[in-house]
Amino acid sequence: MITESNVLVINYPSGGFGNFLYHLLTAYADNTVKVGGHFFNFSATGNSHDNKRYTEPVKKLTDDYDIKFQDRNKLHLVTHDPGIDSNVADHYQEIRQYFPNAKIVHCYLTEQIRPVIYKTFMVKAYNKDTVSYHKTAVTKNWNSNEDYALRENFTKLYHNWSWTWTAMPDVVNFNLETFVQNPFGSFKNLVENTGGRLINKNKCRETLKQWYAANFKYFEIYWIWKDLNEKLDLKQSFNLESIKDIHDQGYLNYCIEKKYSIEIPVYDYKNWFQDTDQILKMIDHEKESFSNQ
């Protein structure tokens, strides 16, 4: 048990940017322990795991976990990654058991950010290609690994999403969707909510821009649905042929099915949609078929 109060535990789902927040808070909050020669380097997958640390990351806390305190007047950061499929209440209790007086930053998910976190979890934490990994399971369940079957597998994944990671009481909640929408403003609020003041603002903005560019391949689906949702509301014609990722197509099918309370006929749209006109026509047809039953 570590009873000191100058500890800040960053609790996050696998793929949920906890390691990056560790380095951001180290570099750009005035109330945290500093690391000499700190720099930001992003790998091909967009992570920053090669940056220097002064505490060990934690997946499961044990009695032998220790912190070498460097400055009693500064926060010492610890990342806690219990896995995306863990129970939020359970690991909150675990943190409190080992760090009874620590501050806790809890990264939480909204429904809209799920596809981003699923992709980062698969690629960064699981070291798997999102689409390729699912082909084995799809082949067993569908006797096919064609794109339409794989797409439907992703649609069902989001209909049956089981990883809650909701906001918690008595912690500093950090909304990962807001972080993707507005990285600088979101991070600035986090610094202030943990008792600090943002320093080196221009450099911080530049670091966040580099991070965003390195991770945009994960964020893109979030913005694609926001744009597509608006186009559907306005019944605007919009070409969709640039959306090639089967995971993204499956997630968009989920969004459409939920929005309009329909089920997209899998075999009728094996090649997916070319534009919003096709989607709107399909919606009208499915609603008409339902009303005639």
pLDDT at 125 over 70: yes
pTM (2 d.p.): 0.92
Ranges 40-49, 83-92, 280-289, most confident: 280-289
Which ranges of 41-120 does DSSP label H, i.e. alpha helix?
A: 88-98, 114-120
Q: Where are the domains positioned within the chain?
A: 7-111+164-218
pLDDT number for residue 129: 84
CA separation for the pair 91, 186 (Å, rounded): 24
Scanning the structure block, which residue is given the tokens 């042929």? 241
Helix/strand/coil for 174: strand
CA separation for the pair 96, 4 (Å, rounded): 12
42, 214 Cβ separation under 8 angstroms:
yes
Each residue of 202-250: pLDDT tens digit? 999 999 999 999 999 999 999 999 999 999 999 999 999 999 999 999 9
pLDDT number for residue 205: 96
Span 264-271, average pLDDT: 92
pLDDT number for residue 253: 98
Span 264-286, average pLDDT: 94
pLDDT number for residue 20: 93
pLDDT number for residue 63: 86
Span 121-133, average pLDDT: 85
Q: Measuring CA to CA, how many Å separate 200 from each of 125, 174, 203, 234, 243?
A: 30, 21, 6, 43, 38
pLDDT number for residue 50: 64
Each residue of 56-111: pLDDT tens digit? 998 888 888 999 999 999 999 999 998 888 777 787 888 999 999 999 999 999 99
Helix/strand/coil for 16: coil
pLDDT number for residue 48: 65
Supply the mean pLDDT for the chain. Answer: 90
pLDDT number for residue 90: 81
Backbone phi, psi, residue 212, to 5°? -65, -45
Span 31-56, average pLDDT: 77
Helix axes 201-234, 276-291, angle to 10 degrees: 50
Sign of the Cα torsion 129, 132, 137, 142 reads positive
Q: Give Cα 230 to chain centroid, integer Å.
A: 22
Q: Which fold has domain 7-111+164-218?
A: Rossmann fold (3.40.50)
Span 115-121, average pLDDT: 94
Closest CA to 211 of 13, 21, 42: 42
H/E element holding 77? strand 76-80
Residue 44 — pLDDT band, cuts 50, 70, 90?
confident
CA separation for the pair 137, 142 (Å, rounded): 9
Closest CA to 54 of 30, 25, 92: 25
pLDDT number for residue 91: 79
Span 280-288, average pLDDT: 89
Helix/strand/coil for 121: helix
pLDDT at 130 over 90: no
Residue 132 — pLDDT band, cuts 50, 70, 90?
confident
Span 111-135, average pLDDT: 88
pLDDT number for residue 92: 85
